[in-house]
A and B are shown apart, each in its own frame.
Chain A
């Protein structure tokens, strides 16, 4: 069974631009979560989607948004990029909501904002 796939793996943007990151969960997994990882703040929860609905949201500004499609694939978008948005963005999937069991992570998308 294929793992969680994130694209692109690396990207460089400049301040003010926007970026869209994509995540394909493990087949059969309906929940997708996004995390931002930086050296200073560690792993910060962005949001979680289940059945195309946002179920949980972290403490990030409205510039960070996401969505989930009917095939459970998810995208996140960051608009008006700032230098501080440089980070590794990790997507994780799990079969269902409910008991928060194991998360399956992708390899991440490393965003550099210049």
Chain B
């Protein structure tokens, strides 16, 4: 079963707008990561946030983590058509087997 669940499943916005994707998970974690996948390609790591961190930035990306609510959000500011992709959260479960468990992803479309 999936540990992380992204919301929404699909998101369509205009270039220049901000895109927010959410991830909820079920059990305590060591860290949470976000990945991007262009259609039919491999995944690319975007950002990692540890369980003792609340917010992290990388370029136009901002990730928040709320361990009390077991949720994370990924914000992409000033989106571009090139940001069109699927975005996945992945969790490293605390006390688990060190494998990363992925959600089903949010498909983001940025219209020019």
Q: Which residues of A contact B (CB under 8 A)?
A: 4, 33, 35, 42-43, 45, 48, 55-56, 58, 88, 90, 92, 97-108, 110
Contact = CB atoms under 8 A, between A and B. Distances in A.
Interface of B: 2, 30-31, 33, 35, 40-45, 48, 88, 90, 92, 97-105
A100 B42 contact: no
A55 B97 CA distance: 8
Contacts, number: 64
A105 B42 contact: yes
A108 B45 contact: no
A88 B40 contact: yes
B56 to A, nearest CB: 13
A42 B99 contact: no
Given A100-B30, A103-B45, A42 B98 contact: no
Contacts of A100: 30-31, 92, 98-100
B42 A42 contact: no
Given A33-B99, A56-B97, A100-B98, A110 B45 contact: no
A42 B102 contact: yes
Nearest to B31: A100
A28 to B, nearest CB: 17
